[in-house]
């Protein structure tokens, strides 16, 4: 087939743009690899191509120990289209693809580790049968098979990269018992877990995982964006690293993220107490640092524009910063309404200190409050942070809506679900379209959000009014969020010269 011929050409070239886009199974060895695997390239007749690791495993192939498919970057949400063709394609967007993406994202976060498929399907607003049929139609596997593949992949990474005891590896990877872990790992990898421990490090070695991405990647620019918005006591951005206190599913601990020298990857170091929530934590870190983006596809969509072309050429690896804690990012945005970035940072630090929990000493000592804690505080206490009464009420109303699940911040949100999310948010007092789109960009990491009312965006576009800005940005779909980042970065660089 023509598609497989193109994949084979990418394999021969070891083209990094296709890393994680497809996987190749080698018939003579029974091994499947990433297209960038440094091993000798097999003959075309020996290759079978798969869209995902779980499909390769379902066909009987085992993961390569050299290129390590478990490290390959993933895929962004399904996209509607680009430019003028979007209008004609929007009505025919396949809801099955959106459902499959949402389900696989939840499963990657451990959505089936301790809960049933009925629970997962209920969150997605469909039946368990519909989820099973969708995954079978698109991936050729069941939800249980996909969950098992994700658990084994994480276990393989922990066995390669850490010195954790096998029992800890099993539970951190989402297995209910060591026996099930041993059986599943051996069945999929063709060897016992202990065989990957030939070069065990000391038990005192830090827990650190490698998170790969597709190049280019503008780490300094992303770090500068986070540095200007870091919440005092919760986050700390250094010259070349990012540290923070995280709170995931009731578990609190510290993480640190830094570049891996000589590799297109970031290193995630985490406190041992975070191991029980490792799967959702890794998924959130990948979203925050936009590690699954396809920079070549983004560049193709934006570089033809006369305003964006030079910006994309100057920063081809610009990423869309996400959030580990969507609620935290949302409150940070609400605190930032009609004030400077610096003032919002100060307010966020006060907010965390007043309503969060002190979990340590020094520069990183605060856990950001949960929706339930903020809702319980009441607007009368929130106003004492130094806010206008109307904004305090807006923050309290938003927190109450999230705590009651009237507003969902689970993510990921595909591009064509954006309008419904924005419509739901603007029903809340104190939240307008700008805030709703900004929350979609940062909290839910939607690639096609567009805060058209943003004065900086209008200034950069030389457009007056949200409607004119929206019309100007129509050609940038489905990557308007990235276009906004380019415009904001340009404005920031102009003001600091």
Residue 323 Cα distances to 224, 328, 439, angstroms: 15, 8, 10
- Active-site residue flag, 15: no
Residue 213 Cα distances to 3, 369, 497, angstroms: 23, 31, 31
- Active-site residue flag, 454: yes
Largest CA distance in the chain: 71
Query: Please, are residues 300 and 280 in contact by the beta-carbon 8 Å criterion?
Result: no
Which residue is catalytic, options 161, 292, 325, 454?
454
d(CA 322, CA 315) in angstroms, rounded, equals 18
**CA 33 remoteness from chain centre:** 23
Query: Residue 303: which residues within 8 A CB-CB, separation 6 or more?
Result: 309, 312, 313
- Bond preceding residue 106 cis, omega within 30 of 0: no
Concatenate the DSSP letters of all residues of 127-190 into one string. -HHHHHHHHHHHHSS-HHHHHHHHHHHHHHHHHHH----HHHHHHHTT-S-HHHHHHHHHHHHS
Residue identified by tokens 């993406």 is 101
d(CA 328, CA 355) in angstroms, rounded, equals 12
| Six token digits for residue 302 | 């934006």
| Six token digits for residue 339 | 């004030």
Residue 314 has phi, psi (to 5 degrees) of: -75, -35
**Own/partner pairs, 3-7, CB within 8 angstroms, 24+ separation:** 3/49, 4/47, 4/49, 7/35, 7/49
Which residue is catalytic, options 33, 47, 64, 221?
33
Query: Please, are residues 182 and 260 in contact by the beta-carbon 8 Å criterion?
Result: no
Residue 179 Cα distances to 184, 301, 448, angstroms: 9, 49, 44
Concatenate the DSSP letters of all residues of 4-73 into one string. HHHHHHHHHHT-GGGBTTBEEEETTTTEEE-TT--SPPPPGGGEEEESSHHHHHHTT-EE-TTT-GGGS-
d(CA 247, CA 245) in angstroms, rounded, equals 7
d(CA 150, CA 189) in angstroms, rounded, equals 13
Q: What DSSP element (H or E) covers 245? A: strand 242-248
The catalytic residues are: 33, 454
């Amino acid at each position: 087939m023509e598609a497989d011929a193109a994949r084979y050409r990418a394999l021969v070239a070891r083209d990094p743009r296709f890393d994680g886009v497809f996987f190749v199974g080698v018939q003579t060895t029974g091994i499947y690899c990433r297209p960038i695997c440094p091993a000798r390239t097999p003959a075309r007749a020996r290759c079978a191509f798969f869209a995902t690791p779980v499909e390769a495993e379902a066909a009987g192939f085992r993961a390569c120990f050299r290129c390590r498919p478990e490290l390959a970057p993933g895929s962004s949400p399904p996209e509607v289209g680009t430019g003028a063709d979007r209008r004609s394609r929007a009505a025919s967007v396949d809801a099955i693809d959106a459902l499959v993406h949402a389900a696989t994202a939840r499963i990657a976060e451990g959505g089936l580790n301790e809960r049933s498929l009925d629970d997962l399907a209920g969150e997605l607003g469909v039946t368990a049968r519909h989820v099973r049929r969708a995954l079978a139609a698109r991936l050729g596997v069941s939800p249980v098979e996909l969950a098992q593949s994700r658990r084994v992949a994480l276990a393989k990474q922990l066995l390669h990269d850490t010195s954790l005891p096998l029992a800890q590896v099993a539970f951190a990877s989402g297995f209910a018992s060591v026996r099930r872990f041993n059986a599943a790992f051996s069945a999929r990898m063709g060897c016992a877990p202990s065989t990957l421990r030939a070069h065990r490090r000391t038990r005192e070695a830090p827990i650190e995982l490698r998170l790969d991405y597709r190049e280019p990647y503008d780490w300094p620019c992303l770090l500068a964006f986070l540095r200007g918005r870091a919440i005092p006591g919760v986050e700390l951005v250094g010259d070349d690293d990012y540290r923070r206190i995280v709170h995931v599913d009731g578990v609190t601990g510290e993480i640190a993220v830094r570049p891996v020298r000589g590799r297109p990857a970031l290193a995630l170091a985490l406190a041992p107490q975070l191991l029980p929530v490792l799967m959702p934590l890794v998924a959130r870190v990948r979203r925050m640092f936009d590690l699954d983006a396809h920079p070549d596809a983004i560049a193709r969509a934006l570089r033809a524009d006369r305003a964006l072309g030079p910006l994309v050429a100057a920063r081809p690896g610009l990423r869309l910063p996400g959030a580990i804690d969507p609620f935290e990012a949302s409150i940070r945005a609400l605190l930032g309404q009609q004030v400077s970035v610096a003032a919002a940072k100060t307010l966020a630090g006060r907010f965390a200190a007043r309503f969060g929990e002190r979990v340590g000493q020094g520069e990183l000592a605060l856990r950001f409050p949960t929706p339930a804690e903020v809702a319980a505080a009441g607007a009368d206490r929130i106003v004492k942070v130094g806010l206008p009464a109307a904004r305090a009420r807006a923050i309290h109303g938003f927190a109450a809506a999230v705590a009651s699940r009237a507003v969902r911040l689970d993510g990921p949100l595909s591009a064509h679900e954006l309008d419904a999310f924005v419509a739901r948010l603007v029903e809340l007092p104190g939240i307008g379209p700008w805030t709703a789109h900004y929350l979609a960009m940062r909290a839910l990491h939607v690639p096609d959000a567009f805060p058209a009312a943003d004065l900086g965006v209008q200034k950069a576009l030389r457009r007056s009014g949200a409607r004119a800005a929206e019309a100007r940005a129509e050609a940038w779909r489905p990557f308007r969020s990235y276009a906004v980042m380019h415009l904001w970065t340009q404005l920031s660089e102009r003001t600091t010269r």
